[in-house]
A and B are shown apart, each in its own frame.
Chain A
Amino acid sequence: MLLALLLAVAFAAVRMRDLFSVVMLFSIYSLLTAALFMDLDAVDVAFTEAAVGAGVSTILMLASLRLVGRSEQARRRNPLLALSVVAVTGAALIYGLSDAPLLGDPNAPAQQHVAPYYIQNAMADTGVPNLVTAVLASYRGFDTFGETLVVFTAGLAVMLLLGSGRARDNQQYGSEDDRNIQRLVVRALIPWILVFALYVQFHGDFGAGGGFQAGVIFASAFVLFDLVHGHRVTAQVIPAHWLPRLGALGALIYGGVGLCSLFVGQPFLDYAALAQDPIAGQHLGILLVELGVGLTVFSVITAIYYAFSTREQLR
């Protein structure tokens, strides 16, 4: 059912010429994907997809449509060539999948490799019941460090391309009355969003959540604030020039934890070195690197939003 809806939305998005509708459909597509992930037991991933795909990326796409215009030109080229390429590739992929293990098969090769080790030993090794957090922050800590740095680098690239956002007002829409209503609602919502983000950040060991999701949710509170109050007010709360520094601080916390364990003679990012008791060390290490991840993701997403929303429209 969900898959059928996904297909319908995807095809509508391909055919649509009005880019505004396409972006909205893409947002619906993300939300459906999140629901599908729930169904497939991936609660952490569903959480991330709902926060990122349906929230932040839609905002970014709309912000860039404001700058580049929303209508797409029709092309007069014959789509037959592209269609045949797509059909052949698709047929080859379906053929290649014909001997893949069936969905949900517990004996599939993917289920046999490291996953059983994680499921059996994560509690004893790290003391963290959420296996996704345990694998993300501890077993695969190197990988996550690299990804945090990629996010940070992408944020820097956007700032280089668009400028980091001067403190000027972005365009306001609607009447003053409308905006007062919006401000009231947003004022009521923001504290809860921030509290929820902190809960997600620090409860990630035990339930679904963690630094990536918390950073995005924290940033979306600022995006919401910016949308109704304008950039000048938001920049007083958190100035644009702080954001790259906060992002760097997050990466520094993560790398610093790794260096700390290096200095006491253990491998890079071996948290057991951080305290007398290995489990306490793991807890501390995971808490700190998740904090670093959250800080970096928050500041990068907010900085990207600043860069897009304050860019002047070219006539």
Chain B
Amino acid sequence: MELPGLFNYWVVVVLMMAGFYVVIEQGNLVKKLIGLGLFQASVFIFYISIGKVADGAPPILGDAAELYSNPLPHVLILTAIVVGVATTAVGLSLIVRIHEQYGSVEEDDIHRADVQADEDEA
């Protein structure tokens, strides 16, 4: 298979920016967390792309292959995926608590409620 040079990295950048856009622009907290997930997954693809060696075999030693892809990025990303789901769960549970407190997961509503509470106090 002919490898497309830098194309992989360009796609990674576009995916990363799609996630970034969701995080900074869209107001729904669950959506923001999904945007963060997109961002994270693009970084994973970046690392794994770096580790790829043309015509290399998966890094499990055998008799058939001479050339192996780099196992180090695989290790880093494998653990990062599992840590990622655990931290996402922490984020989701914070969102659930915010929803219980404010009755909404929209950033604008939450901000308005905070401003309202400050004014009531003053």
Number of residue pairs A-B, CB distance < 8 angstroms: 281
Chain B residue with Cβ nearest A68: B99
* B-contacting 9-mer, from A37-45, A165-173, A174-182, A229-237: A37-45
A40–B34 touching, CB < 8 Å: no
Chain A interface main SS type: helix
A144–B79 touching, CB < 8 Å: yes
A79 within 8 A of B: yes
A151–B71 touching, CB < 8 Å: no
Question: Within the assembled complex, what's the spacing in Å between the Cα atoms of A90 and B15?
Answer: 10
Question: Within the assembled complex, what's the spacing in Å between the Cα atoms of A136 and B78?
Answer: 9
Complex partner residue of A131 from B5, B15, B71, B85, CB under 8 angstroms: B71
Chain B interface main SS type: helix
Interface size range of chain B in the complex: 35 or more
Question: Within the assembled complex, what's the spacing in Å between the Cα atoms of A99 and B6?
Answer: 9
Question: Within the assembled complex, what's the spacing in Å between the Cα atoms of A69 and B18?
Answer: 24
Chain B positions 86-104 with a Cβ under 8 Å from a chain A Cβ = 86-90, 92-97, 99-100, 103
B96–A82 touching, CB < 8 Å: no
Complex partner residue of A68 from B30, B38, B54, B74, CB under 8 angstroms: B30
B82–A151 touching, CB < 8 Å: yes
A144 CB, min distance to chain B CBs, angstroms: 6
Question: Within the assembled complex, what's the spacing in Å between the Cα atoms of A3 and B5?
Answer: 14
Measured between beta carbons, the chain B residues less than 8 angstroms from A277 are none
Chain B residue with Cβ nearest A135: B75
Question: Within the assembled complex, what's the spacing in Å between the Cα atoms of A75 and B69?
Answer: 46
Task: Evaluate whether A13 and B68 lie within 8 angstroms (CB atoms) in the complex, with A102-B6, A104-B53 already known.
Answer: no
**A19-57 interface bits toward B, Cβ cutoff 8 Å, 1 = contact, 0 = none:** 100110010011001001100111111001100110011
- Residue among B50, B78, B85, B103 with most chain A CB within 10 A: B78
Measured between beta carbons, the chain A residues less than 8 angstroms from B3 are 102-104
B83–A150 touching, CB < 8 Å: yes
Q: Which chain B residues have a beta carbon within 8 Å of chain A's beta carbons?
A: 3-11, 13-22, 24-28, 30-31, 34-35, 37-38, 41, 44-45, 48-62, 67-75, 77-79, 81-90, 92-97, 99-100, 103, 105-106, 108
Q: Which chain A residues have a beta carbon within 8 Å of chain B's beta carbons?
A: 3, 6-7, 10-11, 13-14, 19, 22-23, 26, 29-30, 33, 36-37, 40-45, 48-49, 52-53, 56-57, 60-61, 64-65, 67-69, 72-73, 75, 77, 79, 82-83, 85-87, 89-90, 93-94, 97-98, 100, 102-106, 108, 110-111, 113-115, 118-119, 122-123, 129-132, 134-136, 140, 143-144, 147, 150-151, 154-155, 157-158, 161-162, 206-208, 210, 212, 215-216, 297, 300-301, 304, 307-308, 311, 314
Give 15 pairs: A residue, B residue, CB < 8 Å, sorted on A: A3-B8, A6-B11, A10-B15, A29-B41, A48-B78, A68-B95, A73-B106, A75-B108, A90-B17, A103-B7, A103-B49, A119-B68, A135-B71, A150-B83, A158-B89
Given contacts A111-B70, A150-B86, 17 further A-B contacts (CB under 8 A): A10-B19, A22-B31, A40-B52, A68-B99, A72-B26, A73-B28, A93-B17, A102-B5, A104-B53, A118-B71, A119-B71, A131-B61, A147-B82, A151-B82, A161-B90, A210-B78, A212-B78
